[in-house]
Structure 1
Amino acid sequence: MNIFRRGSVRWRIALIYFMLFFVVMTLVAVFLVNRIEQYQLSSLKENIAKTVSESNLPSYLGAYDSLSSHGDEIQSVLDSSWSSFSEELSVVDERMQICASTNPNLVGRSASDVFDASIIASCLLTGDPGESDAVLSGGIPVKNLCYGIENAKDPGVIYVRADLSSIQSFVSQSKLIFIRVILIALLATVVLGFALAGSITRPINDVTGTVRKMSSGDFSEGVTVNSDDEIGQLADMFNLMREKLSDTLSEITGEKNKLSTILEYMADGLVAIDLDGGIIHVNPAARTILGLDPEEPLPADYDALMGHISDNIGLERIKGNCEIHGAQDVFSYGSSIFAIHYDRFKDEEGEDIGIIILIQDITERQKLEDMQRDFVANVSHELKTPLTTIKSYTETLMDGAVDDPDMARNFLGIVDNEADRMNRLVKDLLQLSRLEQRQERMYYLEANIVELVRQCMVKVEMTAQQKGHQLNALFDEKMNIRVLMDRDRMEQVILNILTNAIKYTPDGGRIDVDIDSDGRNVQIIVSDNGIGISEEELPRIFERFYRVDKARSRKMGGTGLGLAITKQIVEEHQGTITAESTLGKGTKFIITLRVATHRGTPNID
C-alpha cells in the first residue's frame, strides 16, 4: 500500500498538523510583533514623560512671566542640562513662537510651521498632554509629544519630537526574525508531521501486513485477533502505548534528576515547606546562608529553621502575604542582607499544599544602592552651596547693592569664584565619570618618571616656599627609570599628591619626595609632617567627595574628587596607590607603577 498517496491517512494527518502549526505560529508572530511595537512606543512615551517630569523643567519654566523675553536663559538651560537628551525638545509660548530648543535651527521660528499646531493649541487650552504621529521630509517617522507648563505665568508648552526610525527598524528586524523562525519551524513541522503520522498509521499497516501474510499461508507471525477490526487495531495501539509510556517515564525521571541537579547547584537558597510549616526541602545554598551543617539533620519546622531570624519572615506573615502573588521581604542575618521571595504551590487539583521560598543575598546590591544615594546627596550638597551663595549675592545686587561700585565689585568677585568652583566640580565629575567608564583616552608613551617627578616639584616649589615648607628630593635625579604612561595624566596625579601635602601641612613643614625601584616596579613616595589622617578615616580618603577636614578643604577650593581621580588614573596605568598616616604626625602616599621593560601592553582605549 502506498502511504504517500495524496488521499492516505498519513498525508491527511501531516497536512492537518502542518496547517494548524502554520496558523498558530502566524497568529503568535503577528501578536508578538504588534505587542513589541506597542511596547516600544509606550516605553518611549513613558521615558520622555518621566524625564521631563523629573527634570522639573515645567515648574522652572512656569516661574517666568514671559517665555519669549527669557529665551536666552531657557536656551542656556537646555544647552547645559539637555544636551545629552536623545530627542528634540523645544519650548513654545502661547503665541506659537519657539523660544528655545535643543535644535538651534528651530529657535525663533513659528511652531505652526514646523510642529503639529493642533496638539499645541489643545495643550495650551486644556493643559493636558497631547501626542500625534508625523513623517518628516526624507521619510523619517516621528512621535510628537506636548506637555503643558505647570502654574505658568506665561502659558506655554514643552514640545518633544521623538525619532521613531529605530523603533520601526527594530520592529522590521523582529518581523524578519519571526518569518525566518516560522519558515524553519514549518520545515521541521513537515518532517515531524510525517514522523508523527507514521507512528499512528504504522500499527495499522503492520496488522494489515500480518493478515495478508496469514491469508497466503504464512503463520510465522501469529496474531491475537480473528479479523481485521477495531479491536485488533486497539490491541496493537495498546502495545505501542505501553512502549510510549515506558519512554515517558524515562523522560520524567530524567527531568526529575535535572531539577534535582539545578536545586543542588543553584546560587540562591531555596526552601519548600507545607502549610503547617513542615520542612519539605532545603537546598545546599539555603543551608549555607542559614549556617546549617550539611551533615546535621534539618530543624523540625520552618520557625526553627528561619522564622525566628526576623518577624518579617515568620510563618504566619508569609502565609498571609502569599495572598499577594509574588510577595517578598528583606531581612538581615549576621553581616549580610537577604531578600526572600515566596509563593504558594499547588497539587494536581489546584489546591494549595505548600510554600516555596527563594533566598537571595542582596548585600552587595544594597551597598551599591547606598553608594549611589550617597553620591547623589553629595553632588546635590556640593552644588547647592555655591548656588546658594550666587543666589544670595545676586539678590543683594538686584536690591540696590549694584549702585555701590566697591560692594558690587566685591560681590561679583564672590559670584565669579563660586562659579569657578562649580565649574571645577563639574569638570572633575566628568573626568571621573570618563575614567570609571574607560572613556578617557590615554596616550601612552615611554618616559622617565624621575624627570617627571622633578618637573612637578619645580612647579609647586614656589607654593611650598610661600608657606615656608622644605620640599626635599631624596632620590638621585640622574636616575632614568622608564615607565609606559600618559604623561599629562601622571603629571596630574603627582601634582595632586604634592599639592595636598603642601595644603595640609602647617606653615614651616617638611615634604619629602623619594623614588625607589627594584627593576620591576617603581615607587613614588611623598611624605609630609602635616596634620595627618585618623585611622578611621584613612580607608575612605579615595572615595568621591570624602574630605577629612571638610571646612578646610572647601576653603582651599577642593572639590573632594582629587584623590578619587588620582586613584582611577593610577589603576588605569595598572598601578596602585596607598596611603599611610598618623593623626598629628603626617601622611605618606605611595604610588607603585610597572617599569616599562616589565610591563605588558597597556589597555589603550
Structure 2
Amino acid sequence: MTDTDERFAVALDAGQIGIVQPTGQPRTLELSGRVEPARTTDFQAVLLAMAGHDLRQPLQIIQGSHELLGLGVRTKSEQRLLQRGQYAINCLNGLLDELLGAVRINEHAMEAGLLPVALGPLFQHACHENAEAALQKRIEIRVCPTAASVLSNAVLLSGVLRNLISNAIKYTEPNGRILIGSRRSGQNVRIDVCDTGVGIAGEQLSKIFDAFTRLDSARCDGLGVGLFIVRRAIEVLGHRIDVSSVASRGSRFSIFATRAD
C-alpha cells in the first residue's frame, strides 16, 4: 500500500467521510460481470426514447435570448420571471448532459478495450466536471492523490466516475462532503466515491441501477439514468461495483478493477 493509499484508508476508517464504520451494519449491493449481447437492446431503447442529440443548439439560442432579455430588467417581478426561466434552462442543460453522456458511453461500449488507465488524472477530471454543481450546493469534493493504474477503458471509467460524483452531489445536503480515492485490494484496485448524503433505504437498494429510477423526485430533477449508465459501463468493462449505504449517513460506491502494474 502506498502512502496515499494509506492516508485514504486512514481517512475512511476514521469515519471522516461517508459511511465507513457506521453504527450497525450498512446495506450493501454488488454488481459484476460482462454484458451479454442481448443486454444491449434495453440500453438502445433508452437512447431512442431520449432523442437528445439535436436539442443542444436551440437551447443555446434560448440561453442567449434569455441573457439579452436580462439586460432590460427593472422590476422585481421581472427578475423573478427571469430566474424561473434560467432555472428551466439549467435543468434542460443538465438533462442534455445526461443524454449525451449516455450516448458517448454506448458508442464506446462495443469497442471497449482494456488498457492501463492512470486514476489520478481521471479523478481530477471527473471532479472538475462536477465542480460547479458542488459549488452551488456548498459541497466539498476532496480527491485523494494516487499513482495507481487499472486495466480499464478511460472513456467508460471516466463516465462512471462522473455519474457517481454527480449522483452524490444530488443526494448530499448543502455543506456536505464527497471523497474520491483508491486503495489496493488484492489483485484489484478499489475505487471509492463516498458521500455524507441522505443514504439509500434497504428496499430501494436493488432498484438504483434500473433505468429512469429516481429515489427522490423532489430532490433530483434528472431522468434517472445516471446509475443505469454506471451499471452498463461496469458490465462492459467486466469490473465489479459494490454499494454500501446507511440512511442519513451517506453512501459508498466502490469499483473493483484489476491493477495494471
State if a TM-score over 0.5 links the two structures. yes
The whole-number CA distance in structure 1 between the counterparts of 2:193 and 2:251 is 8
Task: State the match for 1:580 in structure 2.
Answer: 244
Q: Report 1:1-40 matches (<5 A).
A: none
Task: State the match for 1:310 in structure 2.
Answer: none
Task: State the match for 2:56 in structure 1.
Answer: none
Tell me if the contact between 1:460 and 1:498 (Cα under 8 Å) persists in the aligned partners. Answer: yes
Q: Does the residue aligned with 2:213 lie in a helix, a strand or coil?
A: coil
Q: Report 1:60-99 matches (<5 A).
A: none
Tell me if the contact between 2:150 and 2:260 (Cα under 8 Å) persists in the aligned partners. Answer: yes
Provide, for residues 425-457 of structure 1, a one-character-per-residue CA deviation record: whole Å limited to 9, x for no partner: 65456457657xx53x33544232234224433
The whole-number CA distance in structure 2 between the counterparts of 1:442 and 1:561 is 21
Q: Does the residue aligned with 2:257 lie in a helix, a strand or coil?
A: strand
- With over 3 angstroms needed to count, the CA separation of the structure-2 counterparts of 1:580 and 1:422, relative to structure 1, is closer
Task: State the match for 2:126 in structure 1.
Answer: 456
Residue 467 of structure 1: how far off its partner (Å): 2.7
- With over 3 angstroms needed to count, the CA separation of the structure-2 counterparts of 1:520 and 1:450, relative to structure 1, is farther
Tell me if the contact between 1:443 and 1:486 (Cα under 8 Å) persists in the aligned partners. Answer: yes
Provide, for residues 115-140 of structure 1, a one-character-per-residue CA deviation record: whole Å limited to 9, x for no partner: xxxxxxxxxxxxxxxxxxxxxxxxxx
Task: State the match for 1:502 in structure 2.
Answer: 169
Provide, for residues 531-570 of structure 1, a one-character-per-residue CA deviation record: whole Å limited to 9, x for no partner: 111110011101111110123211xxx2211111112212
Residue 518 of structure 1 aligns with an amino acid whose one-letter code is S
Task: State the match for 1:514 in structure 2.
Answer: 181
Q: In terms of Rg, which structure is larger?
A: 1
Residue 164 of structure 2 aligns with an amino acid whose one-letter code is I
Residue 471 of structure 1: how far off its partner (Å): 2.7
Residue 589 of structure 1: how far off its partner (Å): 0.7
Task: State the match for 1:467 in structure 2.
Answer: 137
Q: Quick one: percent identity of the two aligned structures?
A: 26
Tell me if the contact between 2:241 and 2:253 (Cα under 8 Å) persists in the aligned partners. Answer: yes
- With over 3 angstroms needed to count, the CA separation of the structure-2 counterparts of 1:571 and 1:417, relative to structure 1, is same
Task: State the match for 1:493 in structure 2.
Answer: 160
Provide, for residues 215-257 of structure 1, a one-character-per-residue CA deviation record: whole Å limited to 9, x for no partner: xxxxxxxxxxxxxxxxxxxxxxxxxxxxxxxxxxxxxxxxxxx
Tell me if the contact between 2:138 and 2:174 (Cα under 8 Å) persists in the aligned partners. Answer: yes
- With over 3 angstroms needed to count, the CA separation of the structure-2 counterparts of 1:543 and 1:449, relative to structure 1, is same
The whole-number CA distance in structure 2 between the counterparts of 1:447 and 1:514 is 15
The whole-number CA distance in structure 2 between the counterparts of 1:458 and 1:421 is 16
Residue 245 of structure 2 aligns with an amino acid whose one-letter code is S
The whole-number CA distance in structure 1 between the counterparts of 2:229 and 2:160 is 8
- With over 3 angstroms needed to count, the CA separation of the structure-2 counterparts of 1:596 and 1:527, relative to structure 1, is same
Residue 564 of structure 1 aligns with an amino acid whose one-letter code is F
Residue 523 of structure 1: how far off its partner (Å): 0.4
- With over 3 angstroms needed to count, the CA separation of the structure-2 counterparts of 1:483 and 1:432, relative to structure 1, is closer
Tell me if the contact between 2:200 and 2:247 (Cα under 8 Å) persists in the aligned partners. Answer: yes
Q: Does the residue aligned with 2:220 lie in a helix, a strand or coil?
A: helix
- With over 3 angstroms needed to count, the CA separation of the structure-2 counterparts of 1:521 and 1:491, relative to structure 1, is same
Q: Does the residue aligned with 1:495 lie in a helix, a strand or coil?
A: helix
Answer 1 or 2: higher relative contact order, Cα 8 Å, separation at least 6.
2
Residue 418 of structure 1: how far off its partner (Å): 7.1
Q: Does the residue aligned with 1:592 lie in a helix, a strand or coil?
A: strand
Q: Report 1:48-59 matches (<5 A).
A: none
Task: State the match for 1:565 in structure 2.
Answer: 229
Provide, for residues 96-130 of structure 1, a one-character-per-residue CA deviation record: whole Å limited to 9, x for no partner: xxxxxxxxxxxxxxxxxxxxxxxxxxxxxxxxxxx
Task: State the match for 1:283 in structure 2.
Answer: none
The whole-number CA distance in structure 2 between the counterparts of 1:415 and 1:466 is 16
Tell me if the contact between 2:172 and 2:197 (Cα under 8 Å) persists in the aligned partners. Answer: yes
Task: State the match for 1:534 in structure 2.
Answer: 201
Tell me if the contact between 1:574 and 1:594 (Cα under 8 Å) persists in the aligned partners. Answer: no
Task: State the match for 2:3 in structure 1.
Answer: none
Provide, for residues 171-200 of structure 1, a one-character-per-residue CA deviation record: whole Å limited to 9, x for no partner: xxxxxxxxxxxxxxxxxxxxxxxxxxxxxx
Q: Does the residue aligned with 2:156 lie in a helix, a strand or coil?
A: helix
The whole-number CA distance in structure 2 between the counterparts of 1:502 and 1:457 is 11
Tell me if the contact between 2:152 and 2:257 (Cα under 8 Å) persists in the aligned partners. Answer: no
The whole-number CA distance in structure 2 between the counterparts of 1:429 and 1:514 is 24
The whole-number CA distance in structure 2 between the counterparts of 1:594 and 1:466 is 35
1:446 to 91, 116, 122: 116
Provide, for residues 127-178 of structure 1, a one-character-per-residue CA deviation record: whole Å limited to 9, x for no partner: xxxxxxxxxxxxxxxxxxxxxxxxxxxxxxxxxxxxxxxxxxxxxxxxxxxx
2:213 to 539, 546, 558: 546
The whole-number CA distance in structure 1 between the counterparts of 2:174 and 2:118 is 32
The whole-number CA distance in structure 1 between the counterparts of 2:192 and 2:181 is 5
Tell me if the contact between 2:116 and 2:149 (Cα under 8 Å) persists in the aligned partners. Answer: yes
Residue 498 of structure 1 aligns with an amino acid whose one-letter code is I
- With over 3 angstroms needed to count, the CA separation of the structure-2 counterparts of 1:527 and 1:480, relative to structure 1, is same
The whole-number CA distance in structure 1 between the counterparts of 2:125 and 2:98 is 26
Residue 517 of structure 1: how far off its partner (Å): 0.6
The number of residues matched between the two structures is 197
Which ranges of structure 1 fall in alignment gaps of 5 or more residues?
1-367, 384-404, 598-605
Residue 417 of structure 1: how far off its partner (Å): 6.0
The whole-number CA distance in structure 1 between the counterparts of 2:177 and 2:154 is 27
Residue 420 of structure 1: how far off its partner (Å): 4.8
The whole-number CA distance in structure 1 between the counterparts of 2:86 and 2:127 is 31
Tell me if the contact between 1:523 and 1:593 (Cα under 8 Å) persists in the aligned partners. Answer: yes
Q: Does the residue aligned with 1:536 lie in a helix, a strand or coil?
A: helix
